[in-house]
């Protein structure tokens, strides 16, 4: 059966919707037979490259300009240094596009066996425009294998400055000023095999923009900065090569974690492991490990292993550790976001298993299937003037308001957080824990309303089955705080079903299951079912 699942086509995956997202799609092979049948090999040494530590930007650009469709470019293990004389610019392009190392509008090309690194890496004090180490622009059927790419480092690049440009005019800007280690822009069918990327000045070390059928196989990334992701894919440059809003990527057995790298942090890997954003984005993660991701004071919802915004992301059989959260989902636009995590193993998670953005637009659907998550409470924020979702560790922290969030945990083991879930603003949709084993330290839920818009929403609200254990031995507060009208006068129908749950309290004091504040005078109450299995000093309302 497993072999059959792996053979299912990408077309079925894209058409199957949320019901199909728990299936592992096929993984692209790393075969390069097309190149062995085709043509000429260009060898770096015979083209004048030396790899002796001197600046070889000009020679590298000349070599890449010579490449014809069907060529193989063998860098013969050389370590090429570039951009020694590029200082970075505040208000103009850092370099002319003809001086950027890139493949433009090429087909059926293989690059292999080398390193491209920017001279004198460092963390810049101010944000400047700085070129990308290597770019693929409007290419098809490209493979890069056994290669390493080094950007210059933090603040050496500014992709966001291209926001003022029309989408289709952003590609040159990213290459001239983005500061990525490797950028793949408006390309199709690209395989990145056994490659490494270090450092960058914006977005991510490995960055795919408006590209389709991009496959990262056995790759490693470390931006070594709080500001950037290890891998990022989005639609920043508009339509793909075929003028469609359709971007598909796979990350197969890839890794990201902190390492010692000159010019970068030895404490942080990045702000996130995998980031996918924008309408039309479909991405799959198969295996791999994504660790050492951190939030920062300005963006406290960062530090995620897996992050989706108005996109669709499926994660299968991966691992993560030493991150603020396992997953994040938001809607940067009104387009729906889907995040599905299957058999993910997570350890040393500092804040929450899953957190949302704080927007009031778009619908999100999040599913955790058969995941094992250990939370250690090490990333709690202690400021009093911020959202409570950041100040207490949880399994689910929902910061959205007045829109739909459907979040489900199926057959998961989650332990170590202070509470199960929190949303201090009212939200529509459901929060469901089915056949889970969950252990928390203090209490279960604090909600200002999570349910249906109308009475005819039976699957909305809070539904728990399985075992939930609360370890606080001195606690006497209720386990669940719930209401049907928020402080902003947003009403939600109450649909709470705990009938299939076993609640275990270790407290020596009596605790009520729920404190329910009916602020709608009985007009929004659909169902309140208390658990039938209780252990410890618990009182049913």
Nearest to 106 by CA among 57, 58, 140, 150: 140
- Say if 14 falls within a structural domain: no
Residue 246 maps to which CATH number? 2.160.20
Enter the tokens of residue 316. 């299968």
Residue 459 structural domain: 41-539
- Say if 10 falls within a structural domain: no
- Say if 33 falls within a structural domain: no
Identify the pLDDT of residue 508. 95
Enter the tokens of residue 75. 């860098």
Q: Are 331 and 358 in contact (CB under 8 A)?
A: no
Q: Are 428 and 492 in contact (CB under 8 A)?
A: yes
Identify the pLDDT of residue 23. 43
Identify the pLDDT of residue 9. 36
Identify the pLDDT of residue 455. 82
What SS3 class is residue 157?
Answer: coil
Strands (DSSP E) found in 362-440? 364-369, 372-375, 394-397, 405-410, 413-417, 421-423, 427-428, 430-440
How do the pLDDT tens digits run along the chain, 541 residues long? 333 333 333 434 444 444 444 444 444 556 555 555 546 999 999 999 999 999 999 999 999 999 999 999 999 999 999 999 999 999 999 999 999 999 999 999 999 999 999 999 999 999 999 999 999 999 999 999 999 999 999 999 999 999 999 998 999 999 999 999 999 999 999 999 999 999 999 999 999 999 999 999 999 999 999 999 999 999 999 999 999 999 999 999 999 999 999 999 999 999 999 999 999 999 999 999 999 999 998 999 999 999 999 999 999 999 999 999 999 999 989 999 999 999 999 999 999 999 999 999 999 999 999 999 999 999 999 999 999 999 999 999 999 999 999 999 999 999 999 999 999 999 999 999 999 999 999 999 999 999 998 888 767 999 999 999 999 999 999 999 999 999 999 999 999 999 999 999 999 999 999 999 999 888 888 889 999 899 998 888 6
The count of structural domains within the chain is 1
Nearest to 307 by CA among 251, 265, 260: 251
Identify the pLDDT of residue 29. 55
How many other C-beta atoms lie within 10 A of the C-beta of residue 385? Answer: 4
Task: Name 389's Cβ contacts closer than 8 Å, sequence gap at least 6.
Answer: 352, 355, 397, 398, 399, 422, 423, 424
Q: CA of 521: how far to CAs of 380, 402, 424, 486, 518, in Å?
A: 36, 20, 21, 14, 6
What SS3 class is residue 54?
Answer: coil
Give the angle subtended at the CA of 210 by the CAs of 209 and 214, to the nearest 5°: 80
Distance CA 325, CA 274 (A): 12
Identify the pLDDT of residue 524. 85
Q: Are 37 and 71 in contact (CB under 8 A)?
A: no
List phi, psi (to 5°) of 399. -100, -5
- Say if 63 falls within a structural domain: yes
Identify the pLDDT of residue 32. 56
- Say if 20 falls within a structural domain: no
- Say if 23 falls within a structural domain: no
Distance CA 298, CA 205 (A): 21
- Say if 2 falls within a structural domain: no
- Say if 477 falls within a structural domain: yes
Identify the pLDDT of residue 456. 81
């Amino acid at each position: 059966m497993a072999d059959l699942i792996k053979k299912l086509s990408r077309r079925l995956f894209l058409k199957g919707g949320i019901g199909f997202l728990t299936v592992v799609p096929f993984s692209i092979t790393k075969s390069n037979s097309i190149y062995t049948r085709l043509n000429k090999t260009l060898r770096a040494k015979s083209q004048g490259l030396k790899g002796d530590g001197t600046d070889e930007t000009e020679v590298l650009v000349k070599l890449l300009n010579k490449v014809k469709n069907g060529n193989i470019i063998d860098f013969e293990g050389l370590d090429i240094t570039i951009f020694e004389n590029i200082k970075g610019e505040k208000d103009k392009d850092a370099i002319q596009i003809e001086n950027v190392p890139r493949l433009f509008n090429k087909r059926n090309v293989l690059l292999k066996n080398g390193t491209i690194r920017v001279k004198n890496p460092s963390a810049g004090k101010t944000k400047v425009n700085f070129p990308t180490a290597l770019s693929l622009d409007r290419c098809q059927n490209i493979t890069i294998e056994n290669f390493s790419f080094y950007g210059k480092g933090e603040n050496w690049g500014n992709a966001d400055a291209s926001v003022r440009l029309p989408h289709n005019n952003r590609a040159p800007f990213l290459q001239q000023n983005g500061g990525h280690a490797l950028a793949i822009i408006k390309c199709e069918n690209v395989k990145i095999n056994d490659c490494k990327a270090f450092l960058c000045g914006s977005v991510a070390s490995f960055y795919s923009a408006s590209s389709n059928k991009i496959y990262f196989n056995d790759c490693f990334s470390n931006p070594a900065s709080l500001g950037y992701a290890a891998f990022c894919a989005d639609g920043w440059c508009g339509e793909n090569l075929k003028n469609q809003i359709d971007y598909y990527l796979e990350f197969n057995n890839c890794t990201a974690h902190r390492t010692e790298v000159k010019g970068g942090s030895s404490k942080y890997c990045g702000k996130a492991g995998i980031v996918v954003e924008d309408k039309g984005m479909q991405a799959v993660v198969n295996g791999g490990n994504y660790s050492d991701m951190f939030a920062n004071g300005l963006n406290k919802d960062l530090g995620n292993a897996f992050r989706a915004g108005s996109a669709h992301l499926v994660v299968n059989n991966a691992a993560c550790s030493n991150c603020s959260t396992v997953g994040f989902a938001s809607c940067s636009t009104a387009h729906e976001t889907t995040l599905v995590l299957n058999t993910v193993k997570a350890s040393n998670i500092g804040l929450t298993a899953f957190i949302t953005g704080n927007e009031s637009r778009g619908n999100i659907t999040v599913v955790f299937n058969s995941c094992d998550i250990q939370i250690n409470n090490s990333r709690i924020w202690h400021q009093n003037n911020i959202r409570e979702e950041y100040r207490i560790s949880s399994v689910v922290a929902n910061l959205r308001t007045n829109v739909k969030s459907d979040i489900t945990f199926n057959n998961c083991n989650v332990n170590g957080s202070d509470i199960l879930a929190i949303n201090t603003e009212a939200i529509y949709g459901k929060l469901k824990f089915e056949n889970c084993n969950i252990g928390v330290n203090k209490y279960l839920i604090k909600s200002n309303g999570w349910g249906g818009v109308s009475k005819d929403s039976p699957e909305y609200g809070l539904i728990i089955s399985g075992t939930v254990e609360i370890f606080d031995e001195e606690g006497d507060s209720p386990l669940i705080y719930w209401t049907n009208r928020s402080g902003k006068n947003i009403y939600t129908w109450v649909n709470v079903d705990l009938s299939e749950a076993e609640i275990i309290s270790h407290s020596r004091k009596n605790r009520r299951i729920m404190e329910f504040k009916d602020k709608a005078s009985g007009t929004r109450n659909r169902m309140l079912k208390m658990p039938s299995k209780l252990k410890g000093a618990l009182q049913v309302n």
